[in-house]
Chains A and B, each alone.
Chain A
Amino acid sequence: MLKIIKVTGDSLSPVYNDGDFVLIAKIPVCLFKIKTGDVVVFEHPEHGQLIKKVASISTQEGTLFVIGFHENSMDSRHFGAIGKNDILGKVIWHIKKTA
């Protein structure tokens, strides 16, 4: 299942910027298996719906370590790894904001 999401904030800047749209493939979709380097949208209990890049995957624990590109990004470096079940989808198309 596919879904369009609007990006807010700049922690993935300059690749993903505030106002960009992304098309995500909702999990589970075998065709879109998540791997390191993918950008995913997930639900965090405190911070809500977030978008970050997958830095590493622990298949044993079923968790992913996600980070932003920005040094001050609020990500797994602050709140720890996220569970696979928290992932809402993987970005399969990025529509950049145009002037």
Chain B
Amino acid sequence: MIYKLLEKFDQHLAFDTAKAHCDIPCGIYDPITAQINALTVVRMIDLITHLENTHKEHDADFMNSMSRYVAVKEEHAEKAKHEIRVIWGDYIKAPHVEKHPEIPELVHKIMQLGSKSRQTVDRDTALQFVEAINQFAEIFWDTKGIAIKRAKAPYPPALELVYPNL
């Protein structure tokens, strides 16, 4: 209640701020980058599958498109893993793990699913990758005391993502 009151005052009076920043500009953590990267992995698998089903001749055009899709899939699976590692390593603290003891296992699961998504074109694996990162996002926003909502991404493959309900 006191916080809400101060927040209202702040909107009108704009209290002075004191920065608790880290290496510039620390404090900017958001799992959405990892979520979008994982979504891209699913999208690339869909494009790979579609190309394989519609392009009977494996000509230069086919090879060119296929290699680009595979490269993007590789890159984004690795980027998603990187983003999760940064939040895990730099942001998550002991009290967060105490409250959410499932985090270490979840992070490990994300790493494994990310690797498998690079090795294969298994859509189910990629979907699990997206969902595991969604679960990580739920925990992340809970540590910030911010409510979440689930909504379909407004672009293909239109999978459900976790967003902060601001």
Q: Cβ of B59 < 8 Å from any Cβ of A?
A: no
Residue of B nearest to A99 (CB): B145
Which single member of B15, B20, B146 contacts A9 (CB below 8 Å)? B20
Number of residues on chain B facing chain A (CB within 8 A): 29
Q: Cβ of A32 < 8 Å from any Cβ of B?
A: no
Q: Cβ of B144 < 8 Å from any Cβ of A?
A: yes
Q: A7 contacts B17, CB within 8 Å?
A: yes
Q: Cβ of A35 < 8 Å from any Cβ of B?
A: no
Which single member of A5, A72, A73 contacts B16 (CB below 8 Å)? A5
List chain B residues, Cβ under 8 A from A5: 15-18
Tell me how many residue pairs across A and B have CB atoms closer than 8 Å.
107
Q: Cβ of B143 < 8 Å from any Cβ of A?
A: yes
Number of residues on chain A facing chain B (CB within 8 A): 36
List chain A residues, Cβ under 8 A from B24: 74
Q: Cβ of A48 < 8 Å from any Cβ of B?
A: yes
List chain A residues, Cβ under 8 A from B20: 7-13, 16, 18, 50-52, 68, 73
List chain A residues, Cβ under 8 A from B95: 14
Q: Cβ of B52 < 8 Å from any Cβ of A?
A: no
Residue of A nearest to B142 (CB): A99
Q: A48 contacts B145, CB within 8 Å?
A: no
List chain A residues, Cβ under 8 A from B143: 14
Smallest CB separation, B56 vs chain A (Å)? 53
Q: Cβ of B21 < 8 Å from any Cβ of A?
A: yes
Which single member of A6, A17, A95 contacts B17 (CB below 8 Å)? A6
Interface residues of B in 23-75 (CB under 8 A from A): 23-24, 26-27, 29
Interface, chain A (partner B; CB < 8 A): 3-14, 16-18, 21-22, 41, 47-52, 68-74, 95-99
